[in-house]
Amino acid sequence: MSPRREQIVNKASTIFWKKGYSGASMRDIAKACKCKPSNIYNFFHRKEELLFEFLYTQNLRLLERIRCFDEGHVAKPSEQLREFIHIHIKHVLNYQKTSRSLFDTGLERLSRSNREKVIYLRDEYDQILAGIIQRGVEEQEFSETSPRMAARNIASMITRTIIWYSPKGQMTMDDVADYIFHFSVSGLQRRK
């Protein structure tokens, strides 16, 4: 992807985040890119393409860092889970205000074929996380549970950090990731 394209997608994504897809106008996006709306059409055919490009590359970037946690991975599942959470949390919170739509919204606005491509990536994410948990169960590190349900809940906690996390607060991203990891593994219950 050309650097200008990338630049535009980045600007667009922060605006999608702030205003939602429909609420973001090409004028808004162009202004952020310091050019006129018509110019954007030299790089993208339609507004939807901006959304797709963003959702897809964003998701892909995350996946590429996560695909290593496949069956052949050597670390203990709990260690894998810890690392997985750290990676995803940093991904979400570093791309600050741009990466929310990723897991939450926007899909409806995509063309069918583009939507499928994104869902495909998302499914892969789910399977990787569920896979880690499943192996944890099989290796008796984790208790008997539904890997898919656990994966959903963990992903929910991670992705929604973006709503409340502030870099100016007391917690670092590592703190947040650690908390979610421990919460996922141990829960609230007191050990005796």
Partner DNA sequence: TATGAATGAGTATTCATTCAT
Partner DNA sequence: AATGAATGAATACTCATTCAT
Q: Output the smallest distance, CB 52 to DNA, in A.
A: 12
Largest CA distance in the chain: 66
Cβ proximity of 122 and 105 under 8 Å? no
Cβ atoms within 10 Å of 179's Cβ, excluding its own = 15
Among 37, 73, 141, 173, binds a second copy (CB under 8 A): 141
Q: Which of residues 25-84 bind a second copy (CB under 8 A)?
A: 81
Q: Which of 105, 124, 127, 173 binds a second copy (CB under 8 A)?
A: 105
Instruction: Report how far residue 78's alpha carbon sits from residue 53's, in angstroms, rounded to the nearest whole number.
Output: 33
Residue of 6, 20, 36, 96 that binds a second copy (CB under 8 A): 20
Cβ-contact 46, 98 below 8 angstroms: no
- Compute the Cα dihedral for 30, 31, 32, 35 and give only its sign: positive
Q: Which is nearer to DNA, 48 or 178 (CB)?
A: 48
- Number of chain positions touching a second copy (CB under 8 A): 42
Binding site for a second copy (CB under 8 A): 18-23, 81, 104-105, 108-109, 133, 136, 140-143, 145-146, 149-150, 152-153, 156-157, 159-161, 163-164, 179-180, 182-191
